[in-house]
Structure 1
């Protein structure tokens, strides 16, 4: 272990390993198959990167996430460690060159997607490399009961035949007991050493709050906890909507989702990391590689798809060990919405076949052809042409991606053309009547002088920066000017690229993977049910519910979740509560919400006491819904 510690200090500037890390690394260095179950933020990557540096040869890393592979390779390269990644979009000639580099260039890490192992010629080349160890990241993907099943993970077991003496290390941040058994069996781990770090987070209070007015509740929470926070929303539109609403309430906000250009993603991320905009509103796309220690609150305003995802996202709070909160704001309609969002949009085999055939027709791919052909792809246009529901279609395409039939990548590109239809003096007149629109319009006119004569390509990011505003506000103004017949503009946004990884075989292609689709749909329905049960259960400690789900039974009540706090509150005598409320109302007229915020007692209890005070004519209610002492 001495050499491992020296490598840790030299390349990562740490003097010691975290709990469980040292045990896992010791096991791998003893060349044993090893299974590490480490909750998010536990430092999984070091468990194979450090041994990979100790051993002679190349550490083969199998990972399903292109972004994570690229991120880890970039980090290793920044430390002058030689690493490469074979991701889905790389052409065969380039792969040959990269594998040549591995064989003769003294590389230490080779990252690749599990689908690459299904290509015989790639496997043949890997068999000739000096592989020192094999790391399987996101190992839960091997199980159909995991939250991200990928059948290509089932082929990893075959590497045991080619590398019988090479240690395997399987790592995951979330796996139920059933999935843990699958990981060991389906990856062919031989008498593995099993290490797990408890899923318990003593400094993190899990709260489920029932509220119809989610914006009001957000305002309350952020006022009380002004430190950095993440607010997870359901879709991209809500990122912008809630960023604007919270900004209007005085909070410094930014946003992040998969459809943003790379530069804007990086700008918004950096702004949040340095606490310039401490409130981050994001979709589930925000998360990979996030390790900001001082996040005080992680708030979900919609139900996540499963408890695995919720635990990982919630776990981004309180990594500095200080008191933090994971809050899920729930309303009665959320369960119906979750079923509509996650269950009603699951594609069946018939729909999957239809999408695949239409996709091939859309790009004019003939039967028996198409392998490695690449196309820009607009999901909305595709769905519009064939009258497909967007979410269900996206899920079908994601399934095809996970099966290695296509590669669907998010690559945002934009094209915006604008022409002013009125004469310049009329535009100046409009500006004089609408001075709030002047910065954007003046920036466009100064930057694109020919814009009155023909449609000009306009750089949206450039205009927004010059005008001191956001791209969304520029687009909103152009929409407004278009309705007023002041401008004509055309925008086209491509957010994806599709690469066909197999020849087109229609029925044969889909029939081969249909059983996986049925199993996956069943698992997703069970996961949604577990998520709904977690939110609905008001008789159990929230931390205990999560720990039980991940197989940690016999845990104690945490004392800091919404259930444990409410249990303590119930012990507050009603007479004491009545006295507190009368004292508050004798000083100021207040709404029930204001009383709840000041006292910190459950709203249900406060309303119960106020009801009694109204009945005995001790308080009355005015036209502004405020309670006041009857004089």
Structure 2
């Protein structure tokens, strides 16, 4: 392993591997098919990147996550390692050039989505590459019993016939025993060496608190733990709202979701990474590929949709092995809200068919046409036009994306189009009178010669490069030219791009994948029930519940979760705290915050005493969340 360690030290500046990275690398170097089950933060990418650098040839990495592919390729390039990703939106001629680079340019890594393997010509080109390792990331997508199943992953097994002597390495951060066995079968792994890392995170205290006022409890937690924190919410509006509420309380907070522009994402990310702000409020769009070791607290203020996603998001805390907290705040209304968000919005076959047909109509795609066509897409406008419910529609389109029927990119974008509407001699005259705008206008005319004849799409980053002017100045110039009626200028914002990967065949297309939709819906309901079980169980260690979900047995409680802390304390219902509460409730009904302020006792102790009084039937809680004597 000396050569492997030398590569690890050279590129990643680590002196040792984490278990089971070294065992996986050895297995791959021995030419064996290998399976690695490594929970979030375990360093999965190292397991294929190190052995690939030790061998001649190129490593083929199959991953469904475009953002993660781009991130890993950028990191490798920053290290001076040649890597390419074939992501959506790349035109065929550009893809040919990239594959030529792989074949003749001494590249070490080729990243692509499983859907790319469905293109015969791409598969033919890959067969000519000197592949030294095939790594399948997010391998749970292979299994119909895993979350985010993608049928395109089933095609990966076909690579065995083309590369019979090349080892396969399947990697995932979350898989039950059933899913693990299914992955091995579906990928056709031959007598694979299986390495699993325990799901136990002994430094993370898993906390579940039922609270009346989530913002108040957030304030308490964040004041107590002032290190970097992440707060996960369910939607974009909650992101900005929660960040604003925390800012009004004096916290430094920012937010992150898929609807932000790339610049806003990078700006907010850097504020948090550089610890100029303490708190990142985010949807689940944030976190993939984020490597910040000193996150002290991860807080969910809405129920997650599955234990898999909760474990991955909570696991972004405490990667420096210092004690950290994964907190889930719940209230009585959460179950109903979560059911409306996760279960009631699952599309059935009928609405899936309707949405697919209307999508094709929306983009004017004729029957039997549409393959490789790309469109800007605004979900809200589409739903308003056809009267579809937004969340159910989004889930239906996501399902079509996972089946490879279309590709949905949720990158925020601004599409700029324009046309000059005055004669060229008048444009030249205008430039002579406004020389400070000349470089911008000349760049436009030289780059887009047809801009006089028709509306022309403008590439803003290219304009910045060509004119050597700031983006803000270019946009201000466009606005001015529009006001002066020199150009007809349109700027349209979109929160998504859709690429159709197949010709339109309506019911025939949907019939092919409807069985997967039925399985997915059953799976999502079962996953949500597991979240409710984890949240509502008050008789077992929270860490133990998580381990049991992933098929890992343990006899010992963790000693630091919300259940274990409660078990340690056990005050009786006639304790001094309980007596104080009963005395106050003789005077008037109160909520827990009011009781805490009047008694000056910590909220944790108040909540515990209230729970005991409720269990012993001494008090009752009313619909307005106030406690009263029985």
TM-score bracket, shorter-length normalisation: 0.7 to 0.9
Could you tell me which residue of structure 2 aligns to residue 369 of structure 1? Answer: 369
Could you tell me which residue of structure 1 aligns to residue 324 of structure 2? Answer: 324
Displacement after TM superposition at 1:411 (Å): 2.7
Could you tell me which residue of structure 1 aligns to residue 456 of structure 2? Answer: none
Change in 2 beyond 3 A, CA 1:597/1:21: farther
Could you tell me which residue of structure 2 aligns to residue 466 of structure 1? Answer: none
> Which piece of structure 1 moves more, 597-606 or 159-168?
597-606
Change in 2 beyond 3 A, CA 1:506/1:600: closer
Could you tell me which residue of structure 2 aligns to residue 161 of structure 1? Answer: 161
Paired residue for 1:605, among 587, 604, 609? 609
Cα offsets for 1:190-244 (capped at 9, x unmatched): 1111111111011111111001211111111112212111111110001111111
Matched-pair contact (CA < 8 Å) for 1:592–1:606: no
* Residue 55 (str. 1) matches residue 59 (str. 2): no
Cα offsets for 1:365-392 (capped at 9, x unmatched): 1111111111111111111111000111
Matched-pair contact (CA < 8 Å) for 1:115–1:404: yes
How far, CA to CA, are the matches of 1:241 and 1:273 in structure 2?
21
Question: Residues 82-231 of structure 1: matches in 2 within 5 Å?
Answer: 82-231=82-231
Displacement after TM superposition at 1:413 (Å): 2.8
* Residue 379 (str. 1) matches residue 382 (str. 2): no
Could you tell me which residue of structure 2 aligns to residue 509 of structure 1? Answer: 509
Could you tell me which residue of structure 2 aligns to residue 296 of structure 1? Answer: 296
How far, CA to CA, are the matches of 2:28 and 2:226 in structure 1?
43
Matched-pair contact (CA < 8 Å) for 1:569–1:602: no
Paired residue for 1:593, among 582, 592, 596? 596
Could you tell me which residue of structure 2 aligns to residue 285 of structure 1? Answer: 285
Displacement after TM superposition at 1:51 (Å): 0.4
Displacement after TM superposition at 1:410 (Å): 1.7
How far, CA to CA, are the matches of 1:59 and 1:348 in structure 2?
39
Could you tell me which residue of structure 1 aligns to residue 454 of structure 2? Answer: none
Displacement after TM superposition at 1:412 (Å): 1.3
Change in 2 beyond 3 A, CA 1:596/1:269: farther
Displacement after TM superposition at 1:578 (Å): 6.1
Displacement after TM superposition at 1:21 (Å): 0.7
Change in 2 beyond 3 A, CA 1:532/1:609: closer
Cα offsets for 1:145-174 (capped at 9, x unmatched): 111111101111111111111101000001
How far, CA to CA, are the matches of 2:158 and 2:91 in structure 1?
24
Change in 2 beyond 3 A, CA 1:126/1:609: closer
Displacement after TM superposition at 1:85 (Å): 0.7
How far, CA to CA, are the matches of 2:116 and 2:532 in structure 1?
37
Could you tell me which residue of structure 2 aligns to residue 238 of structure 1? Answer: 238
- Which secondary structure state, in structure 2, belongs to the residue aligned with residue 242 of structure 1? helix
* Residue 542 (str. 1) matches residue 542 (str. 2): yes
Change in 2 beyond 3 A, CA 1:368/1:578: closer
Change in 2 beyond 3 A, CA 1:537/1:99: same
Displacement after TM superposition at 1:555 (Å): 3.8
Displacement after TM superposition at 1:610 (Å): 12
Change in 2 beyond 3 A, CA 1:383/1:606: closer
Displacement after TM superposition at 1:600 (Å): 3.8
Matched-pair contact (CA < 8 Å) for 2:577–2:606: no
How far, CA to CA, are the matches of 2:606 and 2:317 in structure 1?
24
How far, CA to CA, are the matches of 2:131 and 2:605 in structure 1?
60
How far, CA to CA, are the matches of 1:551 and 1:559 in structure 2?
20
How far, CA to CA, are the matches of 2:615 and 2:94 in structure 1?
74
Change in 2 beyond 3 A, CA 1:168/1:608: closer
Cα offsets for 1:575-597 (capped at 9, x unmatched): 46569999x9xxxxx94224475
Matched-pair contact (CA < 8 Å) for 2:573–2:613: no
Could you tell me which residue of structure 1 aligns to residue 43 of structure 2? Answer: 43
Displacement after TM superposition at 1:415 (Å): 8.0
- Which secondary structure state, in structure 1, belongs to the residue aligned with residue 60 of structure 2? strand
- Which secondary structure state, in structure 2, belongs to the residue aligned with residue 411 of structure 1? coil
Cα offsets for 1:451-488 (capped at 9, x unmatched): xxxxxxxxxxxxxxxxxxxxxxxxxxxxxxxxxxxxxx
Cα offsets for 1:284-330 (capped at 9, x unmatched): 10111112111111000001110000000001111111111100000
Could you tell me which residue of structure 2 aligns to residue 409 of structure 1? Answer: 409
Cα offsets for 1:499-520 (capped at 9, x unmatched): 1111111121111111111111
- Which secondary structure state, in structure 2, belongs to the residue aligned with residue 14 of structure 1? coil
How far, CA to CA, are the matches of 1:492 and 1:81 in structure 2?
37
* Residue 250 (str. 1) matches residue 250 (str. 2): yes
Please, what TM-score do these two structures have when normalized by structure 1? Answer: 0.82
- Which secondary structure state, in structure 2, belongs to the residue aligned with residue 222 of structure 1? helix
Question: Residues 60-71 of structure 1: matches in 2 within 5 Å?
Answer: 60-71=60-71
How far, CA to CA, are the matches of 2:4 and 2:144 in structure 1?
35
How far, CA to CA, are the matches of 1:277 and 1:375 in structure 2?
37
* Residue 522 (str. 1) matches residue 525 (str. 2): no
- Structure 2, unaligned stretches of length 5 or more? 417-489, 585-592, 620-625
Displacement after TM superposition at 1:602 (Å): 5.1
- Which secondary structure state, in structure 2, belongs to the residue aligned with residue 603 of structure 1? helix
- Which secondary structure state, in structure 1, belongs to the residue aligned with residue 258 of structure 2? coil
Change in 2 beyond 3 A, CA 1:333/1:315: same
